[in-house]
Amino acid sequence: MKDRLWQAVYYAIQPLLNDRDVVLAPRGDWPEFPGTTILYDDLIDLQGCTVLVLHKGLLTSLRKAEMRGVAAQWQWIFANEVFLVFSRVHRAAKNLRCNANSAHWRPLVRYLASARLRRRHSKIVYVHVPKTGGTSMWASLTKAFPSHVYYPTLRAYLHNPPAPDEYDLIGLHFSPSALLPSLRREDWILAMVRNPAERLLSAVMHARRETEDVKTFTPAARAMREMELARYLVTDFGRVDARLQLIMFGTAHGSRPMCFRTARCCAER
């Protein structure tokens, strides 16, 4: 709720809810919604849910067939730059599906129409390494290739893998070795890397920003935020983060650590 876009969701839907509702929302410091609130991380289970607050960066957290069902059968009740909100039953005066081509809904419409938007015969796989300038590169690539999808975690990819000829561009936040069996000789794997020391310092400064929501942090991110840098670097978390680029491109996805979010957490086990 430190972010105005999260606040806008709460203030828009809170008056529409009742004590029988089950709200499914991404993990964060939401105030209590009326009824029951279930927070999700990287996978979404719609069972029992009456209202879905969908983070647009987590479209792949729900199987695409289920997402098509939500888009076709549920009421579209709110959207902004980050979130889309759907209701299983009619509860708002206006169904925003009629505004499907507006800027806020367009990412969902594009995602569901990805196979029809393809421009290439081969695929581009873009591996996003945190704090390397990768977000800017991804933004540029997505403008060139509307048929794209982004998988923030390996679990989301395994839960909702892309069909063989569904996308021109696939973004990853984990080891590209997970995709190798599905790639052809003409496909491309791209990534940006950075001086390891500069990347690590950038990650630490990012974790310590006052605007970050600590409730969304992994144990590793909390350690990065709260510990002195010298102490952090000699922990298992710090050793993994300092070598993150080597781990990313030199470790098979079936090995530990397997992805950015779980790499540091694996050290706990």
Total number of domains constituting the chain: 3
pLDDT in tens, the chain (269 residues): 778 999 999 999 999 999 999 999 999 889 999 999 999 999 999 999 999 999 999 999 999 999 999 999 999 999 999 999 999 999 999 999 988 889 999 999 999 999 999 999 999 999 999 999 999 999 999 999 999 999 999 999 999 999 989 999 999 999 898 898 899 999 999 999 999 999 999 999 999 999 888 888 889 999 999 999 999 999 999 999 999 998 888 766 565 544 444 444 333 33
Looking at the structure, do residues 226 and 201 belong to the same domain, yes or no?
yes
Looking at the structure, do residues 19 and 49 belong to the same domain, yes or no?
yes
Looking at the structure, do residues 107 and 172 belong to the same domain, yes or no?
no
DSSP readout, 115-167? GGG---SS-EEEE--TTTTHHHHHHHHHHH-SSEEEESSHHHHHHSPPPTTS-
Nearest to 112 by CA among 134, 90, 84, 153: 84
Q: 114 exposed, middle or buried (CB, 10 Å; 0-12, 13-18, 19+)?
A: buried
Looking at the structure, do residues 148 and 94 belong to the same domain, yes or no?
no
* Single residue among 191, 224, 254 that ends a domain in this structure: 191
Q: 113 exposed, middle or buried (CB, 10 Å; 0-12, 13-18, 19+)?
A: exposed
* Single residue among 81, 112, 143 that ends a domain in this structure: 112
Looking at the structure, do residues 58 and 157 belong to the same domain, yes or no?
no
Looking at the structure, do residues 245 and 261 belong to the same domain, yes or no?
yes
250 CB-near residues (< 8 Å, 6+ apart): none
Looking at the structure, do residues 32 and 83 belong to the same domain, yes or no?
yes
* CA pair distance 248, 74, nearest whole angstrom: 39
- The domain in which residue 69 lies consists of 4-112
**pTM reported for the whole predicted model:** 0.85
